[in-house]
Amino acid sequence: MSIGMLGRKIGMTQIFDTQGDAVPVTLLKIGPCTITKIHEENEYARIQIGYEYANLNKLNKSIIGQFEKNKLPCFKYLKEYKTNNWDNLSIGKTLRIKELDTNNYINVSGISIGKGFSGYQKRHNFSRGPMSHGSKNHREPGSIGAGTTPGRVFPGKRMAGRMGNQKVTIKKLKILKVDLNNNIIVVKGSVPGKKGNIIYINQ
């Protein structure tokens, strides 16, 4: 059964394995999440999960009505995913990290750290010009296309602009430790976003 859950990034640290090597890890506080809606299709179902209770003053009537119809509390964050096996799932069921298979990898999605308006070298790893005194091309972009033909810049040209603050998915992260009491999992490697950011995991 594929499963998806919401949580927050706690931060990074390191642990030591049996060989004595330092392993960089990320701590994630996952769930508990509640199934708020199940929409069945022909061969799959769309499962909507809710995370963290919300303030009623910040929700519109349609969202509140959906929760009241299913006799559920109002949630601040909602996420929908597809699954081919939903026999064991029902509206109102609470998903916890014990549902995860520690022997399988997980995928983690989040919003990367925004780095503002960045230049060519930082954003696209372009090479710079000579740094000698006579050179007048240190960090300039150079040519961005031909002249009269085509007489324009093609869409998608790699140029300076806003960097980061985009959805990033890291696939096949290994679960090293699980703390059922505090709903915390320890995964090997880095996870997109900064401390406290909302992240989505699926397995």
Amino acid making up residue 193:
G
Q: Is the pTM of this model over 0.85?
A: no
Structure tokens belonging to residue 154: 């093609």
Three-state secondary structure call for residue 88? coil
User: What is the architecture of the domain spanning 4-118+168-202?
Assistant: Beta Barrel (2.40)
Q: What is the C-alpha end-to-end distance of the chain, expressed in Å?
A: 8
Per-residue pLDDT of the chain (203 residues; tens, 9 = 90+): 578 899 999 999 999 988 999 999 999 999 899 999 888 888 888 999 999 998 888 888 888 888 888 888 889 999 999 888 887 888 888 999 988 888 899 999 999 999 999 999 999 999 999 999 999 889 988 889 898 999 999 999 999 999 999 999 999 999 999 999 999 999 999 999 999 999 999 98
Domain ranges of the chain: 4-118+168-202, 119-163
